[in-house]
Amino acid sequence: MLLQNVVIYSTLNNLNARSEKSSSIYGIETKELYRDDKNKLRFKPPIPLNDFRAEAKKQLENTLVSIKAKTK
């Protein structure tokens, strides 16, 4: 999912492609973006923000970090 979002971000940065309504860029833009109250384009979140925070917390709690001391 993350790779898909990176591809979408990089694709939408191509301003020349936005002018052609028949291009795949226009299709991605209409599917993945919406306009907010200030008429700015925003990405549709893949999951609701509260669910995202809970999932991120769960993933971080299950992550084991091991730091090994370096001896010279």
Q: What is the tens place of the pLDDT at every residue in 40-63?
A: 888 888 888 789 889 989 999 998
Q: What is the pLDDT of residue 12?
A: 58
- What's the rounded mean pLDDT across residues 13-33? 70
Alpha carbon distance 12, 18 (integer Å): 8
H helix and E strand count, the chain = 3, 2
Q: Is the pTM of this model over 0.85?
A: no
- 24 pLDDT band, cuts 50/70/90, is confident
